[in-house]
Amino acid sequence: MIRLLIVDDEPSVLAALRRELRHQFADELVIETCADPALALARVRAQAFDIVMSDLRMPEIDGLSFLSLVSAILPASVRIVLTGSADFGTAQRAINDAGVFRYLTKPWTEAELRSHLAAAIAIVAAARRQARAAATAAADAEDAQSLERRRLEAIEPGITAVEWGPAGEVLMPPLQE
């Protein structure tokens, strides 16, 4: 399951988002909401979230600062801004400073919300597939290296046992007479 954290200082917005997203993405998302950005930051430090959606204007800390901190803690997280005001400068700072993936304005439409979350879910799923493929490739490379070492040892015992000197040079064993 993909973990989503929604941060907004308005409980009614949190309830509406939870209701809509739970209905649309019940099989894909574990949704957690938080009305206090400081508590949300503590949650981010304690639990990895794949997607973090935050309101832009909150009393204690603004959404851009919050998402910048999230980016530092969870750099692979997909971050979405939710705001009642949409101006170019703020959107630009959201993208440049906090690495925001999408910018969703209030009031949102169901189609916009679904589209933004589906795109974020697709990014998380692709990153997970890529991580699994990298782990498999690393394990396969380790297996191939081990297999080659055994093959060489079968042909010439001791060939893979190399001694290294302090300067990185290969030390040759003394000749046996």
Whether residue 93 is predicted with pLDDT greater than 80 in this model: the reply is no
Could you tell me the pLDDT band of residue 177, with boundaries at 50, 70 and 90?
low
Going by C-alpha positions, the residue among 76, 34, 26 that lies closest to residue 53 is 34
Give Cα 158 to chain centroid, integer Å.
Answer: 45
pTM to 2 decimal places = 0.76
- Identify the burial level of 108 via C-beta atoms within 10 angstroms of its C-beta, where 0-12 means exposed, 13-18 middle and 19 or more buried: middle
Domain boundaries, the chain: 2-131
What is the C-alpha to C-alpha distance for residues 139 and 13, in angstroms, rounded to an integer? 46
Mean pLDDT, the chain, integer: 89
What is the C-alpha to C-alpha distance for residues 142 and 9, in angstroms, rounded to an integer? 50
Whether residue 116 is predicted with pLDDT greater than 80 in this model: the reply is yes
Whether residue 118 is predicted with pLDDT greater than 90 in this model: the reply is yes
Query: Which pLDDT value is given to residue 71?
Result: 94
Query: Which pLDDT value is given to residue 59?
Result: 84
Whether residue 140 is predicted with pLDDT greater than 90 in this model: the reply is no
Query: Which pLDDT value is given to residue 130?
Result: 94
What is the C-alpha to C-alpha distance for residues 65 and 93, in angstroms, rounded to an integer? 10
Question: In this predicted model, what pLDDT tens digit does every residue of 6-62 receive, in sequence order?
Answer: 999 999 999 999 999 998 898 999 999 999 999 999 999 999 999 999 998 888 888
Question: In this predicted model, what pLDDT tens digit does every residue of 41-55 receive, in sequence order?
Answer: 999 999 999 999 999
Which superfamily does 2-131 belong to?
Response regulator (3.40.50.2300)
Whether residue 160 is predicted with pLDDT greater than 70 in this model: the reply is yes
Query: Which pLDDT value is given to residue 117?
Result: 95
Q: Tokens for 54?
A: 């935050």
**H or E segment at 117?**
helix 110-155
